[in-house]
Amino acid sequence: MASTPEQDLRVRPVRDEDFGQWRALYGKYAAFYGVAQSDDMARQVWSWLCDPSHDVSGLVVEDDGHTLVGLAHFRPFARPLSATIGCFLDDLFVDSAVRGAGAADLMLTELSRIASANSWSVVRWITADDNYRGRGKYDQYASRTTWVTYDMEPAPRA
């Protein structure tokens, strides 16, 4: 677990007892992106995070009062062209009350450490084009790529 004493913040993996606080943060994250998030959806994601056999893992940042102030969800992914495994950062969120205090730095640094420990070749993520504050932070840790992403709907089931 990494920490920054000056901010009294610590990053660590999610624990079973984090659900209530994680749910509140995840709800704020969904609202930030304008995504409807039901309790059933949140419970599904939580079940993934708490299942050691599932690919999705989670980190949280807590303050010295054990209040969760940030979350990150990530997973390995195959990179056939390079014949390597990378890490995809699906979600990263810091409560607006503590932005700028180092929570995002802690999670990105810990994710870099995890990637190194697992011999993952890259940590990759996407963000909204208009997420200027987030992009400013990401520019400190990663290189913006020239790739454009697309979402395709699956064909209707027969």
Q: Give me the amino acid identity at 61.
A: V
Nearest to 94 by CA among 72, 67, 77: 72
What percentage of the chain exceeds 90 in pLDDT? Answer: 91
Q: How far apart are CA 142 and CA 138, in angstroms?
A: 6
Q: Would you state the pLDDT for residue 4?
A: 47
Q: pLDDT category, 2, cuts 50, 70, 90?
A: low
Q: Would you state the pLDDT for residue 3?
A: 46
Q: How far apart are CA 20 and CA 17, in angstroms?
A: 8
Q: Locate tokens 């609202």: which residue?
A: 31
Largest Cα separation within the chain, whole Å, is 58
pLDDT in tens, 90-130: 999 999 999 999 999 999 999 999 999 999 999 999 998 99
pTM of the predicted structure, to 2 decimals: 0.91
Q: Would you state the pLDDT for residue 158?
A: 87
The structural domains of the chain, ordered by start, are 12-138 (3.40.630.30)
pLDDT in tens, 134-156: 999 999 999 999 998 999 999 99
Q: What is the DSSP-derived secondary structure letter of residue 134?
A: H
pLDDT in tens, 56-87: 999 999 999 999 999 999 999 999 999 999 99
